[in-house]
Amino acid sequence: MLSPGFLRNQKGISLGLIALGAAMAVGAWIIPSDAGYAGVGPDFLPWLVSIALMVCGGLLLRQTLLGGFRVFIPPSGDERGNWAGFAWISAGLLLNAALLTTIGFILSCALCFVLAVQGLRGAQGGGRSLRGWVVDTLVGMAISAPVYWMFTKLLAINLPGLTNTGWI
């Protein structure tokens, strides 16, 4: 049997989802509905998402009122958040944003990847070895380089690079 506080939290999640859908519906109401291509206007997707959120919130509220969320798996992991891991990941995101135009897309995204992996690895109790840093850096560059090239060469979208050649 679920505790009353736990059911109250589930009810809060359900009502919050309904409120979020309603807030999005208010925002969708403001968007002009001039029909575009195939009769679909720019307000179509916001209306669709807001209705879906309210329907999901209503279904969750129904489950809560009938005894709690179905097939609910209790959370695993630590009782408290890992603040060191949060700091590593936050540092990666902030440094990526700060250094993007300075060191280029590939290196800044690789740095973001390395710091995020270090934060996640530390949260799982793993150590930080020099070999891990090197491997994570290479993997980060192996992920970010093809993305950079696809955007700059295939899609002709300018991303900041380290050089003006368009390859780094």
Q: Does 148 lie in the same domain as 99? A: yes
**pLDDT at residue number 2:** 60
Tell which residue, 29, 52, 57, 32, has the closest CA to residue 42. Answer: 32
What percent of the chain stands above pLDDT 90?
46
* Residue 45 belongs to a domain: yes
- Residue-wise pLDDT for 129-162, tens only, equals 889 899 999 999 999 999 998 888 888 888 887 6
CA-nearest of 43, 45, 47 to 32 is 43
Number of domains in the chain: 2
* Residues 94, 142 within the same domain: yes
Mean residue pLDDT of the chain comes to: 86
3-state secondary structure of 128: coil
Check whether residue 149 and residue 90 sit in a common domain.
yes
Is residue 101 located within the same domain as residue 145? yes
> In this structure, are 59 and 22 located in the same domain?
yes
* pLDDT, tens digit (0-9, with 9 covering 90-100), for 8-47: 888 999 999 999 999 999 998 998 777 666 667 788 889 9
42 and 95 part of one domain: no
Please give the model's pTM, rounded to 2 decimal places.
0.58
In a domain, 17, yes or no: yes
Do the domain assignments include residue 21? yes
Any domain includes 159: no
In-domain check, residue 76: no
Residue 100 lies in a domain: yes
**What Rg, from alpha-carbon coordinates, does the chain have?**
23
pLDDT score of 52: 97
Domain residue limits at 37: 4-65
Q: What pLDDT, on the 0 to 100 scale, is given for residue 163? A: 66
Residue 37 phi, psi dihedral angles, 5° rounding? -60, 130
- How far is it, in rounded angstroms, from Cα 94 to Cα 118? 15
| pLDDT band with cut points at 50, 70 and 90 for residue 168 | low
Please indicate, yes or no, if residue 103 is contained in any of the structural domains: yes
Q: Average the pLDDT over 66-93 and give the result.
A: 83
The residue among 54, 47, 74 whose CA lies nearest residue 14 is 54
Is 74 contained in some domain?
A: no
- Predicted local distance difference test score (pLDDT) of residue 56: 96
